[in-house]
Amino acid sequence: MACRFCVSVREDGTNRLTRACVLSLTAAIRELTQKASPLVLTGNAKFFSAGAELREIAALDGPSAYQFAKMGQTLMRALEQFPAPVYAAISGYCMGGGLDLALACHRRIASPHAVFGHRGAALGLITGWGGTQRLPRLVGKAVALEMFCAAEKISAMRARAIGLVEAVADDRSPKLYEGSRQTSKKENSRVRAAGRHRGGDSSLPSSGRSTQLRSSFALSPVAV
């Protein structure tokens, strides 16, 4: 079974989820939905994603904040409802909206030096991209509240202990590829059924997409 890699690439290396990045990712995910192969979402060695762009958040008023939240939720639903398993290969910092992105994936595997956190409370913010719902479902209400309110960073091993990630590995690619090969038709059907049950918003425009396809043995990377 072929597996596609979706790699987030930003000039400053932090993979911040700017408006343009969120729209491009959403367009890429929708394009890949047409070929229901397992998908791996990853960043670089230092950043999976530093989260939303704070300068964009600071400029929001009430109506634009609602649209900003809706835009992010549309991306997260597109991942959650993807018709094949979606894996987050996490290295370095996975913060704020970046953690929301990882939570929307079906499985998460981290490198030993991965760092997780929802730091919004330290800035007087709370995520509007679905993390307040997905995190407690995954790690429990008490741990989720601690992460949100204390705004502390947690290590990869701590993330593994609380169930935030399924595994910690130096090289995530072999684990992810092997996992995708072993994914059964039953699992694919379960993911599709879950997506149909949750429903979705397909109204987001596909402008701003910047995808690049290339081949590498059985893996097909997509740079976004």
Per residue in 201-218, pLDDT (tens digit) is: 333 333 232 222 222 223
Report the CATH number that the domain containing residue 48 is assigned in CATH: 3.90.226.10
**Number of domains present in the structure of the chain:** 1
Residue 11 is encoded by which pair of tokens?
Answer: 């000039």
The distance of Cα 193 from the centroid of its chain, to the nearest Å, equals 20
The whole-angstrom separation of Cα 180 and Cα 192 is 16
Q: Which domain holds residue 10?
A: 3-223
The whole-angstrom separation of Cα 88 and Cα 95 is 13
What percent of the chain has a predicted confidence (pLDDT) above 70? 71
Weakest-pLDDT range from 88-92, 127-131, 203-207: 203-207
Position 121 scores a pLDDT of 87
Give the residue-averaged pLDDT of 119-133. 90
Supply the pTM of this predicted model: 0.77
Give the residue-averaged pLDDT of 165-186. 61
Residue 103 is encoded by which pair of tokens?
Answer: 């939570």
Highest mean pLDDT among 2-16, 47-61, 162-176: 47-61
Neighbour count for residue 149 (Cβ, 10 Å): 11
Torsion of CA 153, 158, 164, 167, to 10 degrees: 130
Give the residue-averaged pLDDT of 174-200. 46
* 177 or 114: which leads in pLDDT: 114
